[in-house]
Amino acid sequence: MIRVRIYNEFLHERNNEKVAKVYPDGIHNCIKGFLESDDIKVDTVTLDDVEEGLSEEKLHETDVLIWWGHMAHARVPDEVARRVQTEVLKGMGMVFLHSGHHSKPFRLLMGTTCNLTWREDGDFERVWVVKPAHPIARGLGRYIYLEGEECYGEPFDVPEPDETVLIGGFEGGEVFRSGLCYRRGNGKIFYFQPGHESFPTYWNPDVQTVIRNAVYWAKGDYRADKLEAPQVKKPGHGEDTHA
């Protein structure tokens, strides 16, 4: 059983009628709806309960954390962001969605500004599969077609990814590295660009496939208890560590 926790700030859906029509129960519940299955259990957290919902204890019980945030990145306490970073370094998997590129934990884990260029004209997007053999691309065709999305463009100020699985191409001609894999410490991180709140992106079956695949991919098999470097004795001198 994979234990997934979804953080969604849940503000646009409550403050904007247009967004509320697309996601009446919030983006987190849309994602929970298609993810939950016999082998995936999902809990959700919003900005209102971010302190308790992403406590050390709750993060310990999380295999993969999914993050959607946009207008309230600054209201996520630094301490929570550090806790998330620590847990990834120990081995928790993480999926950052859309505007999560500017969230505190993503910036901590990347170490760069994570800035990108953007415009919101409702352009179509083709999300091209550039690594068809990658587990996150399983079940996709050559590309995912999205009738309307916010345009995110390069340069995207992130470190060189370990793997680029998807590249978005927009109606205006811009391109963007839309599906990126990283390892930080023992943890795996996937960044996935589509998902602007006013478009029904998370209802798209191919987008759902990517997020589901990303959960299976990001779930680690190893979780360190703590991050402190241990002081050890010289092997073979009274302490056989392999015994």
Binding site for Zn ion (CB under 5 A): 99, 150, 196
Enumerate residues 6+ apart whose C-beta is below 8 A from 71: 9, 11, 12
User: Min. distance of Cβ 73 from Zn ion in angstroms?
Assistant: 12
Cβ-based nearer residue to Zn ion, 44 or 99? 99
Cis peptide before 24 (omega within 30 of 0): no
Cα–Cα distance between 25 and 35 in angstroms, integer? 15
User: Min. distance of Cβ 11 from Zn ion in angstroms?
Assistant: 13
Cα–Cα distance between 39 and 228 in angstroms, integer? 32
User: Min. distance of Cβ 197 from Zn ion in angstroms?
Assistant: 6
Cα–Cα distance between 92 and 86 in angstroms, integer? 9
Cβ-based nearer residue to Zn ion, 13 or 150? 150
Cα–Cα distance between 72 and 47 in angstroms, integer? 8
Cβ-based nearer residue to Zn ion, 11 or 88? 11
Cβ-based nearer residue to Zn ion, 68 or 217? 68
- Asked whether 75 and 13 are in contact (CB, 8 A), the reply is no
Query: Which DSSP letter does residue 10 get?
Result: -
Cα–Cα distance between 67 and 5 in angstroms, integer? 9
- Quickly count: other Cβ atoms within 10 Å of residue 155's Cβ: 10
User: Min. distance of Cβ 98 from Zn ion in angstroms?
Assistant: 6
Cβ-based nearer residue to Zn ion, 55 or 198? 198
User: Min. distance of Cβ 120 from Zn ion in angstroms?
Assistant: 7
Closest-approach residue to Zn ion (CB): 196
